[in-house]
Structure formats: structure tokens, C-alpha cells
Amino acid sequence: MRKETLPGSLTRLVFAAKTLDVYFATGTDSGLAIVVRGAAYRTSKGIGPCSTVAALKAAYATVRPLSYAGRVLAYRLGSLVFVADDGSRVGLVALTAGGVPLLTLLGAQECDASTPAQLAAATTTAPTLWQAVEATRVALARGGVATRDLQAVYQDASAPQASSFDWPTEVVTLAQEERDREGGGRITLTRLADMLAEFGFELRDRHARLSAAVGS
């Protein structure tokens, strides 16, 4: 068991072996939520972490969508919240009366049975940038790197956790680079000058080549 203090006066007990977390209001012994992310946890209709959103809706037609930043990222059914921030799969299920903010649940570790190759592919083949960012967060978290800022945790990391973390803007940049990889690349200014010379531009010396390359 691991005890963590979170932003928003929350304390989390992490039971890694059971893929289960318990949230408390910091300084109290009153539980606010029980969160499960293991695929073995299921409702009576067979829905739980790693289930598809389509299966969730088919089993429970009355689930109510929950939105954040204009996107549906979770579904509520009574006291159960099914987090599905990638839009297609349930990542975790929380039993809560509402004491834990949705943003906190979105940042928790989720059910993920992907292989490293599948994680890598997800970042480059995601149909939208939002989904690519989510896939990048998950890939970083699997390697022990959290996504957070000074106020909130957007994606918790798997143990053993790195001492550093990535800012949300850095993750967006990584996702964009991965999506553009097939048509993008980087070269040095010297190599650019050489390419210009190969195309017939006469550059007298190294300094002139670099100056021409940057347009100065």
C-alpha cells in the first residue's frame, strides 16, 4: 500500500497489487471514492475497466455522459462513474458520491492491456489530436513519467515513478511530433546549406552558408 497526497486536499491509498485506490479528504478517515482499474472488476452485467464504451451503453442505456472541456470523458450510473477519456474504452470505474473531482479521476492510472508496440502505434494512428495526446500520456505513464503541472495531475504514472514529470504542453508537442513523423523531420542548418548548394545556390563559405540558411 502506498499513501499519496493530491492537490485539492485529497489523500489516496494505492493498492497496486489489487489495482484499486481509495480516496479520502486529507486529514479525515472518511472515504470519498473507491476506484478500480483492473479488468477483473465487473458489474453484474459484465462491464468494468477495459470494457468498450459501446458495451457500456448497450448494457446500461441510462448512463449519463460527463463532459470536461467540451468533450464527453466519462459516464455516470448512480454512484458509479465510468471514465473513458480516450472515447472508446473504459479506463477505470469509481464508486463515489461526487467527492472526487472528475479531473482527478481523469488523471488516475487506468486499465491498459496494450503492448509497447500497440502503445507506440496508438500515438501515431489516433484519429484526432486529443486521442493522440491521451495515448502519449498513457505511454509516458507506463514508463513511470506523470503528466502534471503545479496544480493538478493529468495522468498519474505507474511505479516505479520518475522523479521528474512532463507538463501538459510538452505532451501535446510530443503527440504532434509523433502524428507528423511520416511527413516531417529535422535537419541542421549546415545540412540545409549543403542541400541549397546541391540545388545550385552558390554559397562561398561556411559562414555565408549558415547566414543564407537562416535568411540573415
pLDDT tens-digit profile of 157-182? Answer: 777 788 888 888 888 888 888 776 65
Mean pLDDT of 27-46: 90
Residue 202 lies in a domain: no
Which residue do the cell numbers 489516433 mark?
126
Identify the pLDDT of residue 44. Answer: 95
Of 43-52, 82-91, 127-136, give the range with the top mean pLDDT: 43-52
Residue 203 lies in a domain: no
Residue 66 lies in a domain: yes
Q: What is the DSSP letter of 97?
A: S
Range of the domain at 63: 1-113
pLDDT tens-digit profile of 109-161? Answer: 777 666 777 777 777 877 778 778 878 888 888 788 888 887 777 777 777 78
Question: What is the distance between the alpha carbons of residues 140 and 116, in angstroms, rounded to a whole number?
Answer: 11
Residue 188 lies in a domain: no
CB 106 within 8 Å of CB 154: yes
Angle between helices 168-179 and 129-142 (to 10 degrees): 110
pLDDT class for 94, splitting at 50, 70, 90?
very high
Burial of 145 from C-beta contacts in 10 A (0-12 / 13-18 / 19+): buried
Between the alpha carbon of residue 85 and those of residues 56, 68, 92, 163, the distances in Å are 14, 10, 10, 25
Residue 16 lies in a domain: yes
Residue 97 lies in a domain: yes
Q: Considering its fold, how many domains does the chain have in total?
A: 1
Cell reading at 212 = 543564407
Stated pTM of the model: 0.65
pLDDT value at 195 more than 80: no
Residue 137 lies in a domain: no
